[in-house]
Copies of this chain bind each other. A is one copy, B any other.
């Protein structure tokens, strides 16, 4: 039974690689910790150079962002996320992330429920990211770099 293969576990920082967030950027890196194939939750670290602007997007569910380093904002909001802050994003809200020019690389932990939907200026869908595309990116990176992949979709 499935429950016999479920238990609390740790994923160490150095047990998962930084991966280029292609095709969206060559300089933004992502590190996946957990890809839930049932609920669609993704736990991932994101690293972006100062001044990076990422495409406007929304999430189908909530997102919790814990900023570790650097400063960033959404162009649609006045607030700035600084180290140690929590950003709580509600379902289907759209925004354009922008790293500050003068606070160094942004490093932030993201707990994402469901799809990340990239939109163009007319609100047309450009691309969708979720646990499946994350898994494909992770497995392709592992294969290309001779890394034995972990099962990031498992809970043990």
Contacts and interface: CB of A to CB of B under 8 A. Distances in A.
Interface of A: 1-3, 5-14, 33-40, 43, 60-62, 64, 66, 68, 74, 77, 79-93, 95, 109, 111, 113-115, 117, 125, 128, 130-132, 135, 151, 153-155
A121 B135 CA distance: 23
Copies of the chain in the assembly: 4
Contacts of A64: 34, 43, 111
A130 B91 contact: yes
A49 B88 CA distance: 28
Nearest to A86: B33
Contact of A125 (B1, B95, B128): B128
